[in-house]
């Protein structure tokens, strides 16, 4: 009787350690997990080595200089999700495309640094504005600029006075985050020389600068 019990125990143990057959669902599941792991690793490696062709400044490009094959070249770089911020060969660039800011040799050319307008004597100036700026105010649009001077010794402002009409917007960048989580919008405006000094004074004196979208610029 004891021998039969021992034989039964040995048979049960042998059944438990029996090598699984190719139809065993556990084997199939294991194979699927291995394949998925290898595929995921290959995908991550491919993403890490994926490059994008963008334009790079071949030499220093000054404000208002036309963008040509002589001052630009293409280069393969790894940009990831930021690829759309830079000029690529597939972009629709016309012959009159110019730099609206200084671009150093070897620097990637941001899309916001390109304009199709004649700069003439205008100069770019950056101003920080509230985050709730009208969505109509975008690169290529025009705004009216008003200035309200800060009252001496207080946080109040005087009556706004118009500085200029039909000022072209060269670039717009949403800003925010940091330790104080301050939200805002940075505008780059192209201003005439006679507007530059009062605008710089307003910035230095903490005056309030107000920009209003001018739809006449789209006509």
Predicted TM-score (pTM) above 0.85: no
The per-residue pLDDT for range 48-80, each reduced to its tens digit, is 567 888 899 998 887 778 888 889 998 888 877
pLDDT at 34 over 80: no
What is the DSSP secondary-structure string of 152-198? TTSS-B---EEEEEEEEEEEEEEE--TTTT--EEEEEEEE-HHHHHH
Does CATH number 3.90.1210.10 belong to domain 51-119? Answer: yes
If residue 186 lies in a helix (H) or strand (E), which one and from where to where? strand 184-191
CA-closest candidate to residue 185, choices 172, 195, 196: 172
The per-residue pLDDT for range 191-203, each reduced to its tens digit, is 888 888 899 998 8
Select, from the ranges 21-25, 30-34, 47-51, 98-102, the one with the highest average predicted confidence (pLDDT): 98-102
The per-residue pLDDT for range 152-184, each reduced to its tens digit, is 877 788 999 999 888 888 778 887 655 445 578
Give domain limits for the chain.
Answer: 2-48, 51-119, 121-219
Residue 26: band (very low, low, confident or very high) from pLDDT cuts 50, 70, 90: low
């Amino acid at each position: 009787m004891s021998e039969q019990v021992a034989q039964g125990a040995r048979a049960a143990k042998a059944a438990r350690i029996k090598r699984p057959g190719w139809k065993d669902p556990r084997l199939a599941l294991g194979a699927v997990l291995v394949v998925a792991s290898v595929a995921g690793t290959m995908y991550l490696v491919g993403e890490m080595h994926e490059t994008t062709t963008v334009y790079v400044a071949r030499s220093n490009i000054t404000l208002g200089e036309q963008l040509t094959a002589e001052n630009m070249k293409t280069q393969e770089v790894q940009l990831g999700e930021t690829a759309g911020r830079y000029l690529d060969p597939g972009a629709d660039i016309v012959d009159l495309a110019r730099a609206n800011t200084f671009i150093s040799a070897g620097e990637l050319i941001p899309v916001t640094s390109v304009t199709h307008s004649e700069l003439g004597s205008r100069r770019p100036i950056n101003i920080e504005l509230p985050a709730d700026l009208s969505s109509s105010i975008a690169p290529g649009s025009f705004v009216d600029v008003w200035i309200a001077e800060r009252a001496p010794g207080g946080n109040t402002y005087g009556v706004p006075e118009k500085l200029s009409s039909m000022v072209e917007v060269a670039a717009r960048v949403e800003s925010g985050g940091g330790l104080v989580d301050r939200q805002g919008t940075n505008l780059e405006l192209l201003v005439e020389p006679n507007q530059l000094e009062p605008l710089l004074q307003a910035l230095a004196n903490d005056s309030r600068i107000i920009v209003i979208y001018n739809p006449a610029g789209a006509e």
